[in-house]
Chains A and B, each alone.
Chain A
Amino acid sequence: MKHLMSSVAALALAAGFAHAQTPDVPDNLEKLSNFQSTGTKEFTVIEQKGEYADGIKKNLERIKVPDGFKIGLYAIVPDARHMAVGPQGIVTFVGTRKDKVWAVTDRNKDRIADEVKDFAPSLTFSIPNGPCFSKDGFLYIAEQNRVLLFPAAEFFYESPDVAAFNLVKQGELVPSEHESFNHTARVCRIGPDGKAYISLGQPFNVAPAESLDEFKKWGIGGIIRINTDGTGREVYTYGVRNSVGHDFHPETGELWFTDNQVDGMGDDIPPGEINRQTAAGQNFGHPWYGGGSIRTKEYESEEPPADVVMPVAEMEAHAADLGMSFYTGSMFPERYKNAIFSAQHGSWNRTTPVGARVMVTFVDQEGKATSEPFAEGWMDENGEYLGRPVDVAQLRDGSLIVSDDLAGAVYRIWYEGN
Chain B
Amino acid sequence: MRRLAIITMGGVILAHGLASHALAQTPVGEPKAGRQKAGMCRTCHGIEGRARIPIAPHIGGENAAYLAHQLTAFRDGTRVHEMMSVVAKGLDDQAIADLSAWYAGQQVAASLPPGKEEAMAPEACISCHGAGGLATIEDAPHLAGENAIYIDTQLKAFRSGKRKHPVMSEIAVGLSDAEIRAVANWYAGTRIEIEPVK
Which residues of A are at the interface with B, using a C-beta cutoff of 8 A? Answer: 36, 38, 79, 96-99, 124, 126-127, 144, 177, 179-183, 203-205, 263-264, 346-349, 353, 383-385, 405-406
Contacts and interface: CB of A to CB of B under 8 A. Distances in A.
B83 A179 contact: no
A127 B83 contact: no
Contact of A205 (B40, B86, B149, B153): B86
Nearest to B184: A99
20 contacts: A36-B178, A38-B185, A97-B54, A127-B149, A179-B153, A179-B156, A180-B82, A180-B153, A181-B153, A182-B55, A182-B82, A182-B83, A203-B82, A205-B86, A264-B86, A348-B43, A353-B43, A384-B42, A406-B52, A406-B53
Nearest to A183: B82
B149 A126 contact: yes
Contacts of B52: 385, 406
B35 to A, nearest CB: 14
A179 B54 CA distance: 16
B181 A36 contact: yes
Nearest to A177: B160
A126 B152 contact: yes
A383 B148 CA distance: 29
Interface in B96-133: none
Given A97-B55, A349-B86, 17 more contacts: A36-B178, A36-B181, A96-B54, A97-B54, A98-B147, A124-B181, A144-B149, A177-B160, A179-B156, A181-B150, A205-B82, A205-B85, A264-B86, A264-B89, A348-B43, A349-B83, A405-B53
A96 B53 CA distance: 11
Interface in B143-165: 147-150, 152-153, 156, 160
Nearest to A202: B82
A385 B89 contact: no
B44 interface: yes
A-B pairs with the 3 shortest C-beta distances? A264-B86, A97-B54, A181-B153
Contacts of A182: 55, 81-83
B87 interface: yes
Interface residues of B, number: 28
A96 B148 CA distance: 12
Contacts of A183: 82
B87 A98 contact: no
Interface in B61-107: 81-83, 85-87, 89
B83 A181 contact: no
Contacts of B42: 384
A205 B80 CA distance: 11
A181 B55 contact: yes
B83 A97 contact: no
Contacts of B156: 179
Contacts of A384: 42
Nearest to B54: A97
Contacts of A38: 185
B40, B53, B54, B81: most-surrounded residue (chain A CB, <10 A): B54
B49 to A, nearest CB: 15
Contacts of A36: 178, 181
A76 B86 CA distance: 34
Contact of B43 (A205, A264, A346): A346
Contacts of B149: 97-99, 126-127, 144, 181
A405 B43 CA distance: 13
Nearest to B153: A181
A97 B87 CA distance: 22
Contacts of B40: 349
Contacts of A98: 54, 147-149
